[in-house]
């Protein structure tokens, strides 16, 4: 690598390595990159595909707008008062938020299954294709 750190970092010039994108970077900015982008590889540990879909959708609700989610064909929260921002009281404590999420999980699972059966989510094929290959590869290796 010939370029120096200062070159690589462009504007930072050594004052704050990697600019403001260190520990203080905005969580939404980080999540949309580490979760939505980056190389998707099928690891040995496979979270259930449905769970990944759920997680991604939940995060989209946090990071993206309701309008955008609607564009993606996701609108079930409108029928679910606990998910509608209009109906939901502001949640302050993180613990509360955590348990709320796990409660939602069960409900969403059923909803997603229905949705996927009905229309299919845009990302579903891309995510399913790779793990399938990797499972074969993994079997060949470990057995």
Partner 1 sequence: MTAELCYLYAVGRPAELDEAAEGVTGQDGAAVRTVYAAGLGALVSTVSADRFGEEGLKAQLEDLDRLEAVARCHHGVVAAAYQRTTVLPMRLASVYLDDAGVTAMLRERGEEFLAMLSQLEGHVEWGVKIYADPGRAVPAPARPVPPSAESPGRAYLQRRQENRRNQQQLHRDVEAVVSRVAEAAGELAAARVAHRPQQGELATGPGENVTNDGYLVPSGHGEAFREAVTRPAGGVPGVRVEVTGPWAPYSFAVPRER
48 binds partner 1 (CB under 8 A): yes
84 binds partner 1 (CB under 8 A): no
Q: What are phi and psi of 24, to 5 degrees?
A: -95, 0
Radius of gyration of the chain from its Cα atoms, rounded to whole angstroms: 19
Distance in Å, CB of 84 to partner 1, minimum: 13
Tell which one of 60, 77, 112, 115 touches partner 1 (CB under 8 A). 60
32 binds partner 1 (CB under 8 A): yes
27 binds partner 1 (CB under 8 A): yes
Distance in Å, CB of 136 to partner 1, minimum: 11
Our CB check for partner 1 shows the closer of 5 and 132 to be 5
Q: How is residue 85 written in tokens?
A: 């921002």
Tell which one of 15, 102, 117, 143 touches partner 1 (CB under 8 A). 102
23 binds partner 1 (CB under 8 A): yes
Long-range pairs of 129-138 with CB within 8 A, sequence gap ≥ 24: 130/40, 130/41, 130/42, 131/42, 131/46, 131/49, 133/42, 134/41, 134/42, 134/43, 135/42, 135/46, 138/42, 138/44
**CA dihedral for 95, 75, 59, 20, sign (positive or negative):** negative
Contact residues for partner 1, defined by CB under 8 A: 1, 3, 5, 7-12, 17-23, 25-41, 43-48, 51, 55, 58, 60-68, 85, 94, 97-98, 101-102, 105, 126, 134, 137-138, 141-142
């Amino acid at each position: 690598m010939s370029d120096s750190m200062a070159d690589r970092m462009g504007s930072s010039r050594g004052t704050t390595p990697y600019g403001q994108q260190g520990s203080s970077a905005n969580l939404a900015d980080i999540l949309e990159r580490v979760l939505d982008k980056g190389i998707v590889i099928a690891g040995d540990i496979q979270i259930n595909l449905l769970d990944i879909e759920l997680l991604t959708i939940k995060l989209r609700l946090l990071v993206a707008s309701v309008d955008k989610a609607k564009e993606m064909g996701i609108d079930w929260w409108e029928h679910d008062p606990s998910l509608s921002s209009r109906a939901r009281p502001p949640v302050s404590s993180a613990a509360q938020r955590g348990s709320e999420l796990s409660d939602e999980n069960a409900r969403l699972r059923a909803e997603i299954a229905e949705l996927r059966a009905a229309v299919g989510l845009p990302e579903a094929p891309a995510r399913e294709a790779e793990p399938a290959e990797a499972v074969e590869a993994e079997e060949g290796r470990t057995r």
